Amino acid sequence: ADAGHQAAAGALASLNLSGNGVAQDVEEGARWLRTSANAGNQEAQVDFANLVLEGAGEPDDRDRASIAGWFEATASSGDLVAAFNLGLCFAQGVGVRKDEEQAALWVRRAAEGVAEAQYAYARMLQDGRGVAADQKQARLWFERAANAGMVDAQVALAEMLLNGRGGASLPVAAAQLFKRAAAADHVGAMFAIGALYGSGQGLSLDPAAAQKWVAAAAERGHGPAP
């Protein structure tokens, strides 16, 4: 790796990032990934760009135009994960000027097959970031991500179903989604179930069950729970 061998630098990065054979060291792993990426290793370029998006690396790494460029080269060839990451670059201003419309364009492309992108695009539609606000479409994209097993999307969809945003109010369906998310230890969903048992909305009125779920949320640090 010291002699400039791309694959060796990439392998050393992997060892440092995973803690395999050495103490885990994300910054050291990022340093070796940067070396391999700068030498032209495409796999290292994507991995390093991902690390930068997650906040690793040096402060000036986020300003490097090559970060977005590495994603764009892969995204343009049809890689949906790279398209999602490129959308995040535009959303966060990593390696490019922040551009919410471009972010929405790439995230929408990735949403054809990436659950995280489906959820992110639904949020964009919900908030009107980079696209016109559309609660009905947001609900549909949350549903796709929820059906793919994404817990945050299940909770977001449940909130829309409960409040009748983007379509009819369906409290029973909302309660079932909250229960699915709670089974995956989503604390906000636990609190929501307690609230539904307490109000009898979507679930049979049950003060004891309400107290149990609110207490479970409180034990896990959920703020609104007493």
Residues 142-159: tens digit of each pLDDT: 999 999 999 999 999 999
Work out the average pLDDT over 10-19: 90
pLDDT at 178 over 90: yes
pTM of the model: 0.80
Q: What was the pLDDT predicted at 200?
A: 96
Where on the phi/psi map is residue 116: left (φ > 0), alpha (ψ -120 to 50), or beta?
Answer: alpha
Give the pLDDT of residue 65. 66
* Single-letter amino acid code for the residue at 123: R
Per-residue confidence band for 131, with pLDDT thresholds at 50, 70 and 90: very high
pLDDT over 90 percentage in the chain = 62
Does residue 70 surpass a pLDDT of 60? yes
Handedness of CA 143, 147, 150, 151 (dihedral sign): positive
> Which of the residue ranges 61-70, 98-107, 143-152 would you say has the lowest mean pLDDT?
61-70
What distance in Å separates the CA atoms of residue 152 and residue 58, rounded to the nearest whole number? 30
Place of tokens 């609104």: 224
The answer to whether the beta carbons of residues 181 and 189 sit under 8 Å apart is: yes
Mean pLDDT is lowest, of 75-84, 132-141, 150-159, for: 75-84
Tokens encoding 137:
């479409």
Question: 100: pLDDT confidence band, cut at 50, 70 and 90?
Answer: very high
The predicted structure's pLDDT at residue 226:
47
DSSP of 174-192, one letter per residue?
A: HHHHHHHHHHTT-HHHHHH
Cβ atoms 110, 76 nearer than 8 A: no
Lowest mean pLDDT among 23-27, 182-186, 196-200: 23-27
